[in-house]
Amino acid sequence: MPTTAMLQAYYFRRWNGVYTTDFPNDPMVRFNYTGTPPNNTMVTNGTKMVVLSYNTTVELVLQGTSILGAENHPFHLHGYNFYVVGQGSGNFNSTTDPAMFNLVDPAERNTIGVPSGGWVAIRFRADNPGNGRAASKSEAATTAGGTSKMLTFPTVAIRPSILPFWI
């Protein structure tokens, strides 16, 4: 059980041993995500966090896989609403699929179903400083580690008078 909260470790600059900031930007191993999964999906153990600068626009592509069984997969981003800019079936193609994104009037949501055997692309602005959680709402996936942490930090220096109440 962790003894130091991630946000506390960040504020006091003592994150060594609490988390690392090397969360991958791309899949570590590419395979046919909607077909038969490989025997080894290169699962690692650790606490890796994405650190976002305040007011950064973030695009996330959520790919449905058949690793735990093909099913619609609910996804929620704590502390943010996001815009659904695209979705499709099969494996996301970073070369051709973004051309079909709806950047004119995308739907705003706080939860989305990642289609069975498909993908969904969302965008949000990291304008909520603190420790956010991107989480699957599927019990099986959450139990298997289907959650991610993001830390959005303010652009101004933190003064002790405005530290969070739990520190």
Assigned domain for 126 exists = yes
Separation CA 60–CA 56 (nearest Å): 13
pLDDT tens figures, 141-165 = 444 444 454 555 444 333 333 444 3
Assigned domain for 96 exists = yes
CB-count burial class (<10 Å; 0-12, 13-18, 19+) for 76? middle
Assigned domain for 67 exists = yes
End-to-end distance of the chain based on CA atoms, in angstroms?
19
Q: What is the mean pLDDT of the chain?
A: 74
Assigned domain for 166 exists = no
pLDDT tens figures, 50-78 = 777 888 888 888 888 766 666 677 888 87
Assigned domain for 1 exists = no
Separation CA 153–CA 9 (nearest Å): 13
Find where tokens 């009037």 sit. 105
Closest CA to 19 of 44, 52, 50, 43: 50
Q: What's the domain count of the chain?
A: 1
Separation CA 149–CA 135 (nearest Å): 8
Assigned domain for 165 exists = no
- C-beta of residue 165 within 8 angstroms of C-beta of residue 149: no
Between strands 147-153 and 49-53, the pairing is: parallel
CATH code of the domain containing 133: 2.60.40.420
Assigned domain for 88 exists = yes
pLDDT tens figures, 36-55 = 777 766 667 777 777 778 88
Assigned domain for 108 exists = yes
Note the pLDDT of residue 98: 94
pTM of the model: 0.74
Longest CA pairwise span in the chain (Å):
54
Domain extent, residue 63, equals: 6-159
